Amino acid sequence: MTDNHALAQKALAAVDHGILITDPKGVIVAVNPALLTITGFTEEQLVGARPSVFNSGAMPREYFQRLWTTISSGAVWKEEIENRRADGSLYYAYQIISPVIGPDGTITAYVAIQHDVTANRQLREELQAIFVNTQDALFLLNVERDGELRFVKVNPEMERLSGRSSEEIRGRTPAEAFPGQTAREMNQRYRQCLTTAAPSEYEETLSLPGGTRYWNTRLYPVMEDGKVTQIVGCSRDISERKQMEEELRYLSEMDTLTGVANRRKTWEELEREVSRAQRHHHATSVLMIDIDHFKTINDNFGHETGDAVLRGVTTIATATLRPADRLGRWGGEEFLVILPETPQSGAGILAERLRGAIAESRLVRNHTVTVSIGIATLPQEVNISDPIEVVAQELLRRADANLYRAKEGGRNRVCTSET
């Protein structure tokens, strides 16, 4: 018996968790060194006292009533509690209180094991503060036993950006929390993370109750025993960045005065159309358009009128051309029109229609605005081995030469290589 008692004492001393033993009335009869380290009390201060010596005052009387009702019935009590050290400072402990049942079925003692979780508690509080105050939308998904994915937690930023409250999201699947197409896109991404068990990052556009937004989303799988049990999501609203990118793209590709493609963008579209014509062996035509006597308009009526004429010609051309045709400002008072799958005869009809519409307009009071147009056509039998850039440049050279002939011929004319 003495040997067993000595062994028990050694075991208590070796345990890292704090342990105290009370008699059936709750008086402390034994403590281990770890408890003394955690609480700062001495053995003399604790033995003979009651566990209320640790009471921080944070827990209500009803808490202790429930505790004693539970353990006196022979059940185990488990809970995190806030306690007080000998110096008055507070600490958090996860404690397990187990009754010791004697041979006759009565309780002979209570054993309480305390694990100091103060550091963990502080870390949780810090993480919660980050979770609540971060400018990113954060969410946590549980992987249920049936494979269903359910939201278990979202932060305030997620609520604000999504237009859904925590109550509307928590415990629900993506399909239950968000509209149809949005939910399907979310679910596809989440399941990909679940299948690969690897982090992922992507950009997405989602139509949410809070509005359509652009997101940069990162997903992180949480693994337990080799399986994904949760997915942590972090989404950043990049709508402003996307809008800025779109504005920069517009400025780099579009002519700000007329609202049509600029020279660089028009050249890219011409190369693309030439490449398509080479592959599919169909004719493609271009119109090189120049506003007649444009310098005179600027000199006599002012640059504001000149700008208005440029915008007016753009409006008339846009209304006259077909949806597939592409109009670009080539520079100054020159415009280039790309006519996909259009032979020279069709290009001539469109060019005459456009020339006539502009001549009949009243873009400037007491002055008739006219244009000259040169046409060039890429024939169906174009050599597909010729470099695209070379073919496109030759097409423009011929259109420009025909434009020059239209100017030399008296302006307000359409010229092709055959006219």
- Structure tokens that stand for 404 in this block: 């020059």
Distance in angstroms (rounded) separating the CA atoms of residues 334 and 305: 16
Judged by DSSP in three states, 163 sits in: coil
Distance in angstroms (rounded) separating the CA atoms of residues 25 and 326: 93
Distance in angstroms (rounded) separating the CA atoms of residues 49 and 314: 94
Kindly give, in sequence order, each residue whose CB lies less than 8 Å from that of residue 77, ignoring residues fewer than 6 positions away: 67, 70, 71, 95, 96, 97
Counting Cβ atoms within 10 Å, is residue 156 exposed (0-12), middle (13-18) or buried (19+)?
middle
Distances (CA, A) of 115 to 8, 91, 201: 19, 10, 38
- Structure tokens that stand for 215 in this block: 């997101």
Torsion angle of the four alpha carbons 296, 298, 301, 305, in this order, in degrees rounded to the nearest 10: 130
- Amino acid code (one letter) for 272: R
Catalytic member of 333, 341, 381, 418: 333
Distance in angstroms (rounded) separating the CA atoms of residues 150 and 101: 42
Residue with tokens 């028009």: 266
**Active site (annotated) includes residue 333:** yes
- Asked whether 27 and 48 are in contact (CB, 8 A), the reply is yes
User: Side by side, which strands form the sheet with 326-331?
Assistant: 326-331, 334-339, 284-291, 371-378, 414-415
Cα torsion 110, 116, 117, 122: sign: positive
Residue with tokens 């556009």: 205
Counting Cβ atoms within 10 Å, is residue 44 exposed (0-12), middle (13-18) or buried (19+)?
exposed
Other Cβ atoms less than 10 A from the Cβ of 307: the count is 13
- Amino acid code (one letter) for 152: V
Torsion angle of the four alpha carbons 265, 267, 268, 271, in this order, in degrees rounded to the nearest 10: 160
- Structure tokens that stand for 298 in this block: 């600027």
Distance in angstroms (rounded) separating the CA atoms of residues 61 and 394: 94
Q: Which DSSP helix (H) or strand (E) runs through 230?
A: strand 227-237
Active site residues: 333
